[in-house]
Amino acid sequence: FHTSAGLVLLGYFLARQNWKVFLPLMAGLILLTVHSLHSSIELPFVSRFLYEINKYTMHESSELWIRILSFSCVVSALLAPILFRRNGVRTSNILSDKTYVISLRLAIICVPFLTLPYFGYRFIYGMYPVILFLTLSPSLTPYTNSGSQFIALSAMNVVILLTWAAGSTYMRELPFFN
């Protein structure tokens, strides 16, 4: 029930639009957000979102890597169907699949959130299961080697999470073996 959950639904609705609608809407939303951050005028629907952004600005540098690593999970989900496509299947077949295109747009929506501390990775991790579901979609099965894709995707995510655990000061201070 966090604010980022509502944004995931909004992002999914936005990602379902065609490119001609999606790109101008994305640009408009980014401009509206940036303008609202530097404006004294508060819009009713945007004020809670802006509050969440401003609340964590003091932690800006403390968790940059978690945002980058969380986005790398998204990128690995996008790469898996392409890297593990069946023999003879062209990349353009995968890139033209409707579910893959939606997941690609969802990943594009995540990019501006990389600039936001704390709230950014909460949003990206909210989007990640949707992107993962779409990239493992049955509609991609004729194009991909799904077993290999799933195993490779799991391995990529384990590496990403272990990298986070090794690099996180908080995780290194937890006594796992007592």
Please give the structure tokens belonging to residue 28. Answer: 């408009």
Q: Give 116-127 pLDDT, tens digit per residue.
A: 777 777 888 889
**Residue 90 resides in a domain:** yes
Q: What is the pLDDT of residue 98?
A: 94
Predicted confidence (pLDDT) per residue in 127-146, tens digit: 999 999 999 988 888 888 88
Domain tally for the chain? 1
Does residue 86 fall inside a structural domain? Answer: yes
Tell me if residue 144 falls in helix, strand or coil: strand
Residue 82 lies in a domain: yes
User: pLDDT tens digits, residue range 103-120?
Assistant: 999 999 999 888 877 777
Classify residue 178: in a domain, yes or no.
no
Residue-level pLDDT at 168 = 62
Q: What is the pLDDT of residue 32?
A: 77
pLDDT of residue 115: 80
Distance separating alpha carbons of residues 61 and 73, to the nearest angstrom = 20
In this predicted structure, the answer to whether residue 20 has a pLDDT above a threshold of 60 is: yes
Q: Provide, rounded to the nearest whole percent, the portion of the chain with pLDDT above 70.
A: 76
Domain hosting 164: range is 3-173
The answer to whether residue 9 is domain-embedded is: yes
Q: What is the pLDDT of residues 43-68, one digit of tens each?
A: 666 666 667 666 766 655 556 777 88
Beta bridge partners, 85, equal 144
Does a structural domain hold residue 60?
yes
Q: Is residue 145 part of a domain?
A: yes
pLDDT in tens, 62-98: 567 778 888 899 999 999 999 999 999 999 999 999 9
d(Cα 132, Cα 112) in Å, to the nearest integer?
19
From CA 32, how far away is CA 45, in angstroms rounded? 12
In a domain, 17, yes or no: yes
Which residue did the predictor score with more confidence, 162 or 143?
Answer: 143
Report whether pLDDT(152) > 60. yes
Output 6-11 pairs: Cβ under 8 A, ≥24 positions apart.
7/49, 7/123, 7/126, 8/123, 8/126, 8/127, 8/130, 11/106, 11/109, 11/127
